């Protein structure tokens, strides 16, 4: 029986009752989680938090006295706080952009392998999208089979990672005014890998020394992620696995099953999760699950790969990034299959408390103590079946007396791709634009990004989402930020009752929730495409739209890149967790103010989600006024 102290501690860590129940268990049974590890880290290093610690070379590590009273104001090489903060920020952001874009590259490579008949189990599902992307690239589609077209599309995309082509096709999706803004600011990316490598070159000692120039290169690098690698991941994911359409499903820890083999898929790349989804349909494996005493196989998603499975197929989603240890702590997971990104190395230790097997699949991400089954496109379906078999054979090892699965899954309506939203509106954005012009909807906000143990899980995301819809601002959510809203019931059409009168009437007329789930973090590309298409229909730039972005519980380097490419696309963006820039007043001023002169938007930090809503509403009102609406 949990003590009152344990209960109170769990309530401080997460909003969701089911999460609290499992957090109590981890505390009571001494199963270590990220929350415990954060406690052991406190107080965290002030120099690091302010971004003024430079650990790049062997003349260091150096640190700058942020108050300039007694300590040093320069590192050994002469770098001051402005330079150290800017370089650290760029190195983090380049890491995030690389992660997104390398994921994108792997989806493109699977598309190529599939087109060449060299993959095992993949098919081209969305020919309409394939053809429309091919047309953008100037690829002939008439009289050609889809494989030949796909081969050309994938090859042209792969060229955009390197240095020969020197442009990224999808940048042209933006309105001309926005494209001109990028050219004028000198931040139009030349290639995806090119800008990431350039960023890492600039942070080497003795290269970039002008903090403004460094932050502008952050914009360039992040744009190559948002409009490049992440957009390719999204579009090629749709071509291979289908473009999402609205559908119903369920969310939270209660989606795990008491009597089926539970397989959790955690990470980011759908090339793994989609094939495991195919494998669990295999009749022999279904039969094996019954033979082992289970009632079937229950596949559930976690964090971003879970978002993609949910959007495309309605596969239930167990929780966001921070739930990964709690999911194992239910004692009901036979196998946790992971690829990469946002996977705690500690899950192997969590799994040791139960019978769960951790299966890693990417050469990039092996964990000591996990089972490594390398996933390659040429043997994907075969490997997926082997992995599922490992999970099924582990079912008899489950100790049913130790299983603790909460009771109530939350229903959700998801699957709002840019295409499905446009279709729902009757083929054009006109009805949405009319609602914005009339003021029924004041604007839209992308609530994106993570959960972070420094913030009570889901509090920042849910509070901001509720606050925005109350103010007649439509929420477009992705990543773990979306999952918070889903668990709180905001992805149900009934949640329209929580919205202001204008937004409520639009949601009711269309039968949609006031929070539209648009997918995983790379699928922020869907928000960019939607913004671009609305701006083009209005004949303005993205920077003119009443739009904003927010990441109330940001943790990840990928999130830095997202925040920067939102802002660099002209979308004011607020982080709820302090960025590591406050050690430099100049960098802070540039990013929160002067950057608007270059990209039409700024970044802000506001931990209080209600105050963040105030900031966002003010920007939206300002943009509406400028548009004359
Ligand atoms: O790419 S939202 S915690 S899972 S980083 Fe990670 Fe953040 Fe979740 Fe997905 Ni995105």
Any atom of ligand 1 within 6 Å of the Cβ of 322: no
Predicted TM-score of the model (pTM) = 0.97
Secondary structure of 233-248 in HEC code, one letter for each residue: HHHHHHHHHCCCCCEE
| CA pair distance 336, 351, nearest whole angstrom | 9
Give residue 34's pLDDT.
98
Atom of ligand 1 nearest to the CA of 452: 3
Give me ligand 1 centre to Cα 110, in Å. 22
Q: How much distance in Å is there from the Cα of 449 to the middle of ligand 1?
A: 6
Q: Which residue's C-alpha comes closest to atom 9 of ligand 1?
A: 304
Joined together, the tokens standing for residue 23 give 């957090």
* Distance in angstroms (rounded) separating the CA atoms of residues 333 and 528: 36
- What backbone phi and psi angles, to 5 degrees, belong to 326? -65, -35
Closest CA to 174 of 242, 227, 115, 101: 227
Structure tokens at 121: 């189990």
User: How many distinct helices (H) and strands (E) make up the chain?
Assistant: 27, 16
452 Cα: distance to centroid of ligand 1 (angstroms): 10
What is the reported pLDDT for 254? 98
- Amino acid 163: pLDDT: 84
User: Is the Cβ atom of 321 under 6 angstroms away from ligand 1?
Assistant: yes
What pLDDT sits at residue 70?
A: 79
Identify the pLDDT of residue 1. 55
CB distance 304 to ligand 1 below 6 Å: yes
- Residue 555 Cα, ligand 1 centroid: separation in angstroms? 8
- Nearby residues of 40 by Cβ (< 8 Å), 6 or more positions away: none
Residue pair 422/510 in contact by the 8 Å Cβ criterion:
no
Q: Specify the pLDDT at position 146.
A: 98
Averaged pLDDT, groups of 10, the chain, 629 residues long: 87 98 98 98 97 97 87 95 98 98 98 97 97 98 98 98 94 98 98 98 97 98 98 98 98 98 98 97 98 98 98 98 98 98 98 98 96 97 98 98 97 98 95 97 97 98 98 98 97 98 97 98 98 97 98 98 98 98 98 98 98 98 97
Report which protein residue has its CA nearest ligand 1's atom 1: 521
């Amino acid at each position: 029986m949990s003590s009152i102290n344990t209960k109170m501690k769990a309530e401080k860590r997460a909003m969701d009752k089911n999460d609290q129940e499992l957090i109590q268990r981890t505390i009571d049974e001494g199963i270590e989680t990220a929350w415990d590890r954060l406690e052991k880290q406190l107080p965290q290093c002030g120099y690091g938090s302010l971004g003024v610690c430079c650990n790049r070379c062997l003349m260091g590590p150096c640190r700058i006295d942020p108050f300039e009273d007694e300590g040093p104001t320069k590192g050994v090489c002469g770098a001051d706080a402005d330079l150290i903060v800017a370089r650290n920020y760029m190195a983090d952001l380049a890491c995030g952009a690389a992660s997104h874009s390398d994921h994108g590259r792997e989806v493109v490579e699977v598309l190529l392998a599939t087109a060449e008949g060299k993959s095992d189990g993949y098919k081209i599902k969305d020919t309409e999208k394939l053809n429309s992307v091919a047309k953008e690239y100037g690829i002939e589609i008439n009289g050609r089979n889809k494989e030949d077209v796909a081969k050309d599309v994938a090859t042209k995309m792969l060229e955009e990672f390197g240095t020969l082509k020197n442009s990224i096709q999808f940048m042209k999706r933006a309105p001309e005014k926005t494209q001109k803004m990028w050219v004028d600011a000198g931040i139009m990316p030349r290639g995806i890998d090119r800008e990431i490598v350039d960023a890492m070159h600039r942070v080497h000692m003795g290269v970039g020394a002008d903090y403004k120039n460094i932050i502008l290169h952050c914009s360039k690098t992040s744009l190559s992620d948002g409009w490049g690698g992440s957009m390719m991941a999204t579009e090629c994911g749709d071509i291979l696995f289908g473009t999402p359409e609205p559908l119903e499903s369920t969310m939270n820890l209660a989606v795990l099953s008491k009597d089926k083999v539970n397989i959790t898929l955690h990470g980011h790349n759908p090339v793994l999760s989609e094939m495991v989804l195919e494998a669990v349909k295999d009749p022999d494996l279904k039969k094996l699950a019954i033979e082992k005493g289970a009632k079937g196989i229950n596949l559930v998603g976690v964090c971003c790969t879970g978002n993609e499975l949910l959007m495309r197929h309605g596969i239930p989603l167990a929780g966001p990034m921070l739930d990964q240890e709690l999911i194992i702590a239910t004692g009901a997971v036979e196998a946790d299959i992971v690829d990469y990104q946002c996977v705690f190395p500690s899950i192997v230790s969590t799994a040791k408390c139960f019978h769960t097997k951790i299966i890693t699949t990417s050469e990039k991400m092996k964990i000591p103590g996990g089972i490594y089954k390398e996933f390659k496109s040429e043997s994907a379906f075969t490997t997926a079946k082997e992995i599922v078999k490992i999970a099924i054979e582990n079912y008899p090892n489950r100790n049913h007396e130790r299983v603790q699965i909460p009771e109530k899954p939350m229903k959700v309506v998801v699957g709002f791709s840019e295409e499905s939203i446009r279709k729902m509106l009757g083929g054009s954005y006109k009805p949405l634009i009319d609602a914005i012009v009339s003021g029924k909807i004041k604007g839209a906000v992308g609530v994106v990004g993570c959960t972070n143990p420094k913030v009570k899980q889901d509090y920042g995301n849910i509070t901001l989402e509720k606050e925005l819809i109350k103010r007649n601002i439509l929420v477009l959510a992705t990543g773990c930020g979306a999952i918070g809203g889903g668990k709180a019931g905001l992805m149900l059409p009934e949640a329209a009752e929580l919205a202001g009168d204008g937004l409520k009437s639009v949601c009711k007329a269309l039968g949609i929730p006031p929070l539209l789930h648009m997918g995983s973090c790379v699928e922020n590309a869907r928000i960019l495409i939607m913004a671009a298409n609305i701006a083009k229909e209005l004949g303005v730039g993205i920077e003119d739209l009443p739009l904003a972005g927010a990441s109330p519980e940001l943790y990840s380097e990928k999130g830095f890149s997202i925040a920067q490419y939102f802002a660099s696309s002209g979308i004011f963006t607020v982080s709820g967790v302090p960025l590591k820039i406050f050690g430099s007043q100049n960098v802070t001023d540039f990013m929160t103010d002067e950057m608007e002169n270059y990209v039409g938007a700024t970044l802000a930090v506001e931990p209080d989600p209600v105050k963040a809503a105030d900031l966002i509403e003010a920007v939206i009102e300002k943009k509406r006024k400028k548009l004359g609406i």
